[in-house]
Amino acid sequence: MSRPVHVALNLVFLVPGETGGMEVYARELLPRLAATPGLRVTSIVNEVAAADRDAPWNAIDGTVVAPVDARDRRQWVWGEQRHVPRIASEAGADLVHSLASTGPGRLVGGPPRVTTVHDLHYAVAPEAHFGLRGLGMRVLVPAAVRASVRVIADSQSTKDDVAAHIGTPADRIDVVHLATTLPDPSIATAEVALRRSLGLGERPVLLSMAAKRPHKNVEGLIDALAGIPSERRPLLVVPGYATEHEPALRLHAAARNVTDDVRFPGWLSGADVEGLWGLAVAHVFPSFYEGFGLPVLEAMARGVPGACSDRASLPEVAGEAALLFDPSDAASIREAILRLTGDEELRGQLRARGLERAATFSWERAAAETTRTYELALG
pLDDT tens by residue, 23-70: 999 999 999 999 999 999 999 999 999 999 889 998 888 899 999 999
Give phi and psi for 347, each to the nearest 5.
Answer: -60, -40
Q: Are residues 204 and 148 in the same domain?
A: no
Residue range(s) defining the domain that contains residue 20: 5-179+362-378
Q: Are residues 250 and 349 in the same domain?
A: yes
pLDDT digits (tens, 9 = 90+) for 182-232: 999 899 999 999 999 999 999 999 999 999 999 999 999 999 999 999 999
Q: How far is CA 314 from CA 205, 210, 308, 322, 341, in A?
A: 22, 13, 7, 10, 21
Q: Are residues 63 and 92 in the same domain?
A: yes
Residue 130 has pLDDT above 60, yes or no: no
pLDDT band at 129 (very low <50, low <70, confident <90, very high): low
What's the whole-number mean pLDDT along residues 109-116?
96
Q: 134-142: which pairs have CB atoms within 8 A and are 24 or more residues apart?
A: 136/73, 136/77, 137/101, 137/102, 140/77, 140/101, 140/102, 141/101, 141/102, 141/117, 141/166, 142/166
Q: What is the pLDDT of residue 1?
A: 45
Q: What is the pLDDT of residue 107?
A: 87
Q: Are residues 226 and 240 in the same domain?
A: yes
Q: Are residues 159 and 193 in the same domain?
A: no
How many separate domains does the chain show?
2
Q: Are residues 226 and 84 in the same domain?
A: no
Q: Are residues 35 and 78 in the same domain?
A: yes
Can you give the CATH number for the domain in which 205 is found?
Answer: 3.40.50.2000
Q: Are residues 252 and 349 in the same domain?
A: yes
Residue 127 has pLDDT above 70, yes or no: no
Q: Are residues 103 and 203 in the same domain?
A: no
The pTM is what? 0.93
What's the whole-number mean pLDDT along residues 364-379?
97
What CA–CA distance (Å, rounded) separates 373 from 206? 40
Q: Are residues 117 and 210 in the same domain?
A: no
Q: Are residues 221 and 114 in the same domain?
A: no
Q: Are residues 30 and 163 in the same domain?
A: yes
